[in-house]
Amino acid sequence: MIEFRNVFKTYPNGTHALNGVNLSVDKGEFVFIVGASGAGKSTFLKLIMHEETPTTGAIIVNNMHLENLKRRRVPYLRRTMGIVFQDFRLIGKMTVYDNVAFAMRCIGKKGKTIKKRVPYILELVGLKDKAHNKPSELSGGEQQRVALARALVNNPAMIIADEPTGNIDPELSYEIIELLSEINKRGTTVLVVTHEHELVESFNKRVVRIEGGCIVSDTKDDDTMVAI
């Protein structure tokens, strides 16, 4: 589903963010990406989303070669992924319902389909009762669940989350990862960048560690994949 072959990324100012990354993620996997600040984690995700392009190397996502992806193909790529950010990025003027429905309207879904799908997704993330509230009336964890609902509503093949728990309490962080884990069990591939060591330890998932733009460990390569 995701393949990196000897990927290097150097930003225009000369910063070497990724230095020869090789990695493959299969459909249905759940992967934590960890590493120090500046290690290259967000760059790695941005390359998957095609927000940045590699300097050299090949990247294949959902059978699309990103190193030479045509501009008109980018929307097709993006539709295969739901993206969750650390700062939620909800629309403050819209209700919870409309924040989620908006993602469907954007890709031209019919009103009838939206009316059926949005309540279902809000129920899935446990926010049915907050459908008519504004984001400012919700807790951080609830806001992040709205963001997750929005990422999920168009049924993406994968969810990509860059520190989705960075702005919420530890207990709520656990809840968000648990929710991602549930979604993963239904077949969606999940990639999560996080700084939270304890969180990673409490879930027995694949962990890829990036340091200085290189993958320095991957529990998938360990024969002894017991604990991290």
Ligand X SMILES: Nc1ncnc2c1ncn2[C@@H]1O[C@H](COP(=O)(O)OP(=O)(O)OP(=O)(O)O)[C@@H](O)[C@H]1O
Q: Establish if 111 lies at the interface with ligand X (CB under 6 A).
A: no
Q: Establish if 155 lies at the interface with ligand X (CB under 6 A).
A: no
Q: What is the distance between the alpha carbons of residues 101 and 152, in angstroms, rounded to a whole number? A: 11
Burial of 186 (0-12, 13-18, 19+ CB in 10 A): exposed
Beta bridge partners of 193: 33, 162
Near ligand X in 12-41, by CB under 6 A: 13, 15, 17, 35, 37-41
Nearer to ligand X, 38 or 170 (CB): 38
Nearer to ligand X, 126 or 166 (CB): 166
Of the candidates 136, 163, 202, the residue with the CA atom closest to the CA atom of residue 37: 163
Q: Establish if 42 lies at the interface with ligand X (CB under 6 A).
A: yes
Helix (H, G, I), strand (E, B) or coil at 187: coil
Q: Establish if 53 lies at the interface with ligand X (CB under 6 A).
A: no
Q: What is the distance between the alpha carbons of residues 65 and 193, in angstroms, rounded to a whole number? A: 23
Q: Establish if 42 lies at the interface with Mg ion (CB under 5 A).
A: yes
The span of 8-16, 59-67, 96-104, 180-188 binding ligand X (CB under 6 A) equals 8-16
Q: Which of 11, 22, 89, 120 binds ligand X (CB under 6 A)?
A: 11
The span of 11-19, 66-74, 129-137, 171-179 binding ligand X (CB under 6 A) equals 11-19
Helix (H, G, I), strand (E, B) or coil at 50: coil
